[in-house]
Amino acid sequence: MKKSQLDFFFEFYEKKRIPEIYSNIIFKNREDTSVIKNVREKTVHDKIYSIFFIPEYIVPQCKAQHFKVKKIDQYFKGYALDLSHFDSADAYIKNRFRSNAKTIRKRARRLETCFDITTKMFYGSIDRADYDILIDKAFKMIQRRFDERQAESHTLTQWDRIKTIFFSLINEKKASMYVIYDSDKPIAISLGHHFHGKLFSLVSAYDIDYSKFSLGNIEIYRKIDWCLKNEHYMYELGMGDLDYKREWSNNIYNFQHQVLYSTKNILTRLSGFALYCKAYCKELCYKKAYEPYDKVRARIRSFKRKKETMENTAPQVDIVQNPVELKTWEKIPFENSKYDFLKRHINDFLYMAIENKKNLTAYKMITDENKFLIKTSKQAVTVQFVKSKPL
């Protein structure tokens, strides 16, 4: 008995197609209901279809009347921004975050105050040289972030496939690459799939030296405006229970698993029902296993936050209260890669001082190579590294 197992979410957003068993899908949002027809004319055979991760806001229509459709609610949830009621990113964050919307706007403005920020959405056109530079930069950003967290990135395990397919997809307007630059340096890069006016954000990479500015939130904020200006009314974040997804999403939805089989043949009917029972039990097991796990994970997350807050980590950063006598300090070219270890401290200082990087100077103490001074005309901090070689 032939069986076809498909991940609907992957088929829809990444392969840009609807499974052959469906004649069309109804896409529901809060304003209207639209229909997307299946352009694939492939004949449906009397095989068994197991199609999972169907988002709640999508209703697929089976093209074969003699097929039975059995439905199972899945445990994992999906996260999306339904933009259909909004005309700007500011309107969305005001509705979603209420008083905290000011914080997002403030950080976006402060990033632009402290650095020469430009953005670019590559959608429909990117040359090979730019693509190779940016995709490799995104890889290094993600790798560095997860190395610091001492964790494994699922995205990087898929990187060869991502790197191979996205160049042509961007040039065909089936995908995009959004970049935030500090001068000519990329500091945030995201990759997304596009299909029928919906953007699925697949990859987000950012330079952790700019973490004080919440680049991930700024990226979403800016891309919402792009979506609305380009008739994209769904910003899909996919599955995965992460804090930022819960915070940004106004549509937290369930997934559905459908088992479809022909009722004409007794063997197909029995096999299809058996597959449905197996899938139903599997979801029940997930629920029993993951609910306690989620509670434990929430406690671990809370413990880690408290631990990070309580720990005193090197280096020591002190605000300078009095004018500095520069005779004991040697000016350094802080933009040189030799001083990359200082960049996060410099950026944190710029955030605090609300100053542009052009107005900043940095010094190394002549008598202590592990002590540095970062200053503008109004404020200064010293950074003291404990180790003999700063990391």
pLDDT tens by residue, 71-87: 999 988 999 999 999 99
140-185, pLDDT tens digit by residue? 999 999 999 888 899 999 999 999 999 999 999 999 999 999 999 9
Ordered by start, the domain boundaries in the chain are: 3-76+252-292, 85-232, 316-384
Q: Is the pLDDT of residue 249 over 60?
A: yes
Instruction: Tell me the mean pLDDT in the region 51-61.
Output: 95
Other Cβ atoms closer than 10 A to 75: 17
Both tokens of 154, joined, read: 């699922």
Q: Is the pLDDT of residue 310 over 70?
A: no
Element (H, E) at 92: helix 89-97
pTM for this entry: 0.88
Q: Is the pLDDT of residue 306 over 60?
A: no
Taken in order 296, 56, 166, 244, is the CA torsion positive or negative?
negative
pLDDT confidence of 106, banded at 50, 70, 90? very high
Residues contacting 120, CB < 8 A, separation 6+: 178, 179, 181
Pick the CATH number of 85-232 from 3.40.1160.10, 2.40.50.840, 3.40.50.720, 3.40.630.30: 3.40.630.30
Residue identified by tokens 């975050």 is 97
Instruction: Tell me the mean pLDDT in the region 47-54.
Output: 95
Mean pLDDT score of the chain: 89
Report pLDDT for 99: 84
Report pLDDT for 29: 64
User: For 84-90, which contacts have Cβ atoms below 8 Å and span 24 or more sequence positions?
Assistant: 84/29, 84/30, 84/31, 84/32, 84/233, 84/234, 85/30, 85/31, 86/224, 86/228, 87/228, 88/225, 88/228, 89/221, 89/222, 89/224, 89/225, 89/228
pLDDT confidence of 28, banded at 50, 70, 90? confident
Q: Is the pLDDT of residue 33 over 90?
A: no
pLDDT confidence of 37, banded at 50, 70, 90? confident
Kindly state the greatest CA–CA separation across the chain.
92
